[in-house]
Amino acid sequence: MVVQDMPHGTLPLLYTFHFYLFGIIAIVSALLFVTRKSPVAAALWLVNTMFSLAALYVMLDAQFIGVIQVLVYAGAIMVVFLFVIMLLNLGQGVVGDARGLGWKLIAGAVGVALLAQIFALTRSRTPVNLTLPAGYTAQQVERTGAITPIAGPLFNEYLLAFEVTSVLLLAAIVGAVVLGKQRGEGDAG
């Protein structure tokens, strides 16, 4: 919301400070998430990453996305992750990486490629038809409330895609139940 008063391209000091603060927290947490041996600690570092991402979304005036990030990822998915980790009692034991050197090299190469892509994208100019004027989102939120800009297109223009996605999720749930049932029967018999 502060951004709209500033000339294009410059940002207030506080904004820059917070951007780097949350950016650094996100990256450090992500690194810790990958390197921790204990699955519970790794999961918690991932939660921390989600939080800093949510903060970055809020700084982009996308409060709705930020809150959904916390609600869905940190509040629901990661809790279920923890639940499963505890149920399987992976505990503090060290789970060794079963994959060999080849896989690690491939993973590293993919990571480097993605990093290069991000650098290339930040260097190039964003096409004009993909950008919004500065402070546009903030004005929109001020005028219609925080979720109307998302809910409107979602339930009018893209309703079909939205519904198809829900059918996809339903299919996944049914599939999971079917698989679970099959194994249960095998065990019993």
Partner 1 sequence: MIALALDAFVQAATQANGLEHLPPPPSGGAWFLATVVKLLLTFTIYMIGVMMVIWLERRVCAFIQDRRGPNRVGPHGLLQSVADGVKNIMKEETYPSQAYLPLFVLAPVMSFIPALLTWSVIPYGAPWDSQWGTIDTALAPMPIGFLFILAIGSLGVYGIVLAGWSSNNKYSLLGGLRSSAQMISYEIAMGMSTIPVLILAGNVSLDRIVSQQGGWGLHWNAINCTIAWFIFMIAAFAETNRLPFDLPEAESELVAGYHSEYSAMKFSMFFIAEYANMMTASALMATLFFGGWDIPFTMWDNVAPHTLLKTLVTFAFFWVKIMVFVFIYIWVRWTLPRFRYDQLMALGWKFMLPTALTYIVVIAGATLGLEFAGFHPDSWQFAVAMLVINLVLTGILFGLIDRGRLISPSYSRLDKRDLAKLRRARFDRARFEPATSEGGAD
Residues in contact with partner 1 by the rule CB under 8 A: 38, 40-41, 44, 47, 63-64, 67-68, 70-71, 74-76, 79-80, 82-83, 86-87, 92, 141-142, 145-147
CB 57 within 8 A of CB 76: no
Closest approach of partner 1 to the CB of residue 173, in Å: 14
Which residue, 115 or 142, has its beta carbon nearer to partner 1? 142
Could you write out the DSSP letters of every residue in 90-131? -TTS-------HHHHHHHHHHHHHHHHHHHHHHHSPPPGGG-
Which residue, 3 or 44, has its beta carbon nearer to partner 1? 44
| Residue 90: other Cβ atoms inside 10 A | 14
- 157 alpha-carbon distance from chain centroid: 24
Query: SS3 of 11, please?
Result: coil
Residue with tokens 């949350």: 22
Which residue, 123 or 143, has its beta carbon nearer to partner 1? 143
Which residue, 33 or 63, has its beta carbon nearer to partner 1? 63
Closest approach of partner 1 to the CB of residue 141, in Å: 5
Closest approach of partner 1 to the CB of residue 75, in Å: 3
Write the single-letter amino acid at 94.
V
Closest approach of partner 1 to the CB of residue 83, in Å: 5
Tokens read off for 53: 């991402």
Closest approach of partner 1 to the CB of residue 11, in Å: 19
Which residue, 105 or 151, has its beta carbon nearer to partner 1? 151
